[in-house]
Amino acid sequence: FEDLGEIEKIYTRGAGLYQVAFITYKDATSIDYFKEQWSYHINKDIVRVLPLLLSKEEREKRKQFSLRLSGLHYQTSGYDLKEVMTQCKGKTCFIPAVMIRGKYQRCRYAYIHFSSRDDLVAARQMNIEFKKGNAGTRQLYWSKEEDRICNICGNPTHMAKDCTNKDINKSHSKRFVSGADNWKNLKKSYADAAKSKQKPRNSSKSNNNIPSGSRDQGRARSNHDNDDDDSEDFNNHPMFLKFKEQIINTIRKVEDKLLNMESLISDTGKQIGEVVTAQQALKCDKAHPVPISKKKKNQQSDNNTEVKAKRRCKSDSESSEDEDELAN
């Protein structure tokens, strides 16, 4: 929009997929472009522009004459329909989007608005073919916005259950293989494997035609070769001995680590046992607390017994002294 003039301020309103932008130009002549043009290209999309200076009747006129164009390719944008818009004299193009598997995807139909009923009628009589990129040419269909159309090909003359062109939206690069075709291919692969196994059997049958003398000679040669191979003691080879030593050292290291782990586990088990015992003792003290009064009584009784014992000892000592004096 900056190409049309200097923008004084701009702000957007709305959330989600669609938003409305309010643009204010410093020069009033900057919006003269939108008196004849009802839309504007932004990247690969076409946005509808409605000047606020228009009267209510002029605004309603821009929404009055519209048709639905169905049968588009997957993910068709407004920029892709630029030639179609020129051909049918369309003023605006709106391609709705729906949420599919957590993502917004464009529908395979568009709403085209016209400036007059004559342009609408003329466009509806046109046979429009549409091609996008490397995809094949498609036949597009006109219909009213409230008409029901086929969800597969977009034709308003039938529904999806009666559609005879159900493969139109499938990618030609990704060929669908049914379960029956997979089973046939699997059976073929088994047959090929069986044939390959039969070939060495046929060769063994051909060997049966060789004279017995030559076969015995071949066996003797093979046995002689095996004896020569066995004569070399592989166990005494330096490389094998080195490899064997490395394996033994590795096994010893693993055993040492296992022993250390066992000792650590036993020590940890003892510590856990001590902690559990201490916790149980604390629980017992909390579950069966000794009252303070009882503790005081026990202390007083202990003190009384000590005093009594001291008195007894004193009386015993005094009695013994009296006995000594009498004896003397």
State the CATH number of the domain containing residue 99. Answer: 3.30.70.330
Q: Would residue 85 count as lying in a domain? A: yes
What are the helix and strand counts (H, E) for the chain? 8, 12
Compute the mean pLDDT over every residue in the chain, rounded to the nearest whole number: 72
289 pLDDT more than 80: no
Task: Find the domain containing 153 and state its range.
Answer: 62-162
3 pLDDT more than 60: yes
220 pLDDT more than 50: no
Q: Which of 142, 121, 20, 117 is nearest to 61 (CA)?
A: 117
Q: Give mean pLDDT, residues 150-164.
A: 83
Token pair of 228, please?
């020569």
44 pLDDT more than 60: yes
314 pLDDT more than 60: no
224 pLDDT more than 70: no
Q: Give mean pLDDT, residues 254-274.
A: 85
pLDDT tens digit string along 168-215?
A: 776 655 444 455 555 555 555 555 655 665 555 554 444 455 444 444
Radius of gyration of the chain (CA): 51
Q: Would residue 113 count as lying in a domain? A: yes
Place of tokens 């009802």: 38
pLDDT at site 62:
83
29 DSSP assignment: G
Q: Would residue 125 count as lying in a domain? A: yes
Q: Would residue 74 count as lying in a domain? A: yes
Q: Would residue 93 count as lying in a domain? A: yes
Number of domains observed in the structure of the chain = 1
218 pLDDT more than 60: no
Confidence of residue 231 (pLDDT cuts 50, 70, 90): very low
30 pLDDT more than 50: yes
Q: Would residue 316 count as lying in a domain? A: no
pLDDT at site 182:
54
Query: pTM for this structure?
Result: 0.48
pLDDT at site 294:
52
Q: Which of 120, 191, 108 is nearest to 155 (CA)?
A: 108
Q: Would residue 276 count as lying in a domain? A: no
Place of tokens 């000590």: 306
Confidence of residue 311 (pLDDT cuts 50, 70, 90): low
Q: Would residue 103 count as lying in a domain? A: yes
Work out the burial of residue 178: count CB atoms within 10 Å of its CB; fewer than 13 is exposed, 13-18 middle, 19 or more buried: exposed
